[in-house]
Amino acid sequence: MKIFTKVLMSIMVVGVIAAFDACVPNYRNVDTPLPHLATIAATSITTTSAISGGEVKSEGSSSVSQRGICWSTHSKPTLDDFNESSGSGPGYYYIQMDNLNKGAKYYVRAYAINDMGIGYGPEVSFKTLGEVNQYFYYGASDSHQNCWGLTNGGDDEWAVRFPESYFTEYDGASITKVRTYLGITGYYDVRIYKGGTTSPTTLLAQQSYYASPTGWKVINLSEPVTLDGSQPLWVSMSCSYSAGSYPKGACEGVGNPDARWQNSNGNGWYDVYNYNQNTDICWEIQVFITSNVGSKDGLEIMLSPNPGKPEPSESLQNSPMPR
């Protein structure tokens, strides 16, 4: 009877240990001698740095003595490339990569070392920000503007639309200011939207501005707007004005359909060229994109994404918008 009791207790102890083991994460795996890892996608990407990391899911057949990440501008980086370690054992870890090249594509893999060798996680990739401090706009130079308006006055919003392809490489950069030509003294709203091809869908920012005197105005945004490079970007100006007033600057003869959108009296967006084919214009709205909040050393590069723009003209006219 005593022998039977001892055997029964031994079976119960083995069962308890087995049940306990079933509830503990399997950080050791004798069937996989090397460590098994996941690589964490890069975040906090700047022009010269980013954060990645990994997770040691299984240590393999022995304890992990070192873990970290390795990275390079070529695929499948190893410890022969740039690398940084962070602790030992199982679990999550995060590492910042510094001194990266601007506007470069990098590949990252997590790694872990045990007595059997080096295990690598799956490869992830990311691209650092290219340094940018530029105005993006359509149309002609600063001296070439005409003033347009509704014949009968009213509430008017005019916008330029940039396809997402314009800012793909600047994903994560910021819009810090808008520069535009304003033709009458008064209150204006600058609005920044994303999404939509025939009308904007999501309002990202709105800011009021009082223009006095008229002319080219720089509107510094109180809060920078971050680009995600995944949807079209719309930048608009709006105001209410009386008949015979001409609030918005435009240059003629450019004819870019992305740069002549209008919403008059809340009746919906349309391309003014389709409304009247004599209005072959581009609105004078420029958006400043920077990879830093503010311009570097005060440098502002004027970049027109519209090739073949006409020569500047010194003329300034008042032309009513046909209705």
DSSP letter at 189?
A: E
Amino acid at 280: D
Tokens of 43: 């975040």
What is the predicted pLDDT for the residue at 102? 85
What is the C-alpha to C-alpha distance for residues 67 and 111, in angstroms, rounded to an integer? 6
pLDDT of residue 4: 44
Answer whether CATH 2.60.40.10 is correct for domain 36-127: yes
C-beta separation of 158 from 237 below 8 A: yes
Buried-state track 203-233, b at ≥16 Cβ within 10 A, e below 16: ebbeeebebeebeebebebeebbebeeebbb
**For residue 11, what are the contacts with CB-CB under 8 A and spacing of at least 6?**
none
Predicted local distance difference test score (pLDDT) of residue 146: 87
- Retrieve residue 94's tokens: 């995060």
- Rounded Cα distance, 29 and 263, in Å: 64
**Burial (CB count within 10 angstroms: exposed 0-12, middle 13-18, buried 19+), residue 314:** exposed
Closest CA to 35 of 95, 124, 123, 116: 116
- Retrieve residue 177's tokens: 């200011």
Residue 8 backbone phi and psi in degrees, to 5 = -65, -40
Q: Are strands 174-182 and 285-290 parallel, antiparallel or unpaired?
A: antiparallel
Q: Looking at residue 88, what is its pLDDT?
A: 96
pLDDT for the residue 178: 96
CATH no. for 133-321: 2.60.120
Where b means 16+ CB within 10 Å and e means fewer, 76-100 reads ebeeeebbebeebebeebebebeeb
- Cβ-contact 163, 246 below 8 angstroms: no
Q: Per residue of the chain (323 residues), what is the pLDDT tens digit?
A: 444 444 444 444 344 333 434 444 555 665 679 999 999 999 888 888 999 999 999 999 999 999 999 999 999 999 999 999 999 999 999 999 999 998 889 999 999 999 999 999 999 998 888 778 889 998 766 667 789 988 899 999 999 999 988 887 777 789 999 999 999 999 999 999 999 999 999 999 999 999 999 999 999 999 999 888 889 999 999 999 999 999 999 988 777 899 999 999 999 999 988 877 777 889 999 999 988 654 433 333 333 333 332 222 222 233 344 33
pLDDT of residue 293: 59
Q: Where are the domains of the chain?
A: 36-127, 133-321
For 13, the enclosing helix (H) or strand (E) is: helix 2-23
* Sign, Cα dihedral of 238, 240, 243, 247: negative
Answer for the pair 206, 191: CB distance below 8 angstroms, yes or no.
yes
Note if the pTM is more than 0.85.
no
Collapsing DSSP to helix, strand or coil, 143 comes out as: coil
Q: Are strands 50-58 and 36-43 parallel, antiparallel or unpaired?
A: antiparallel
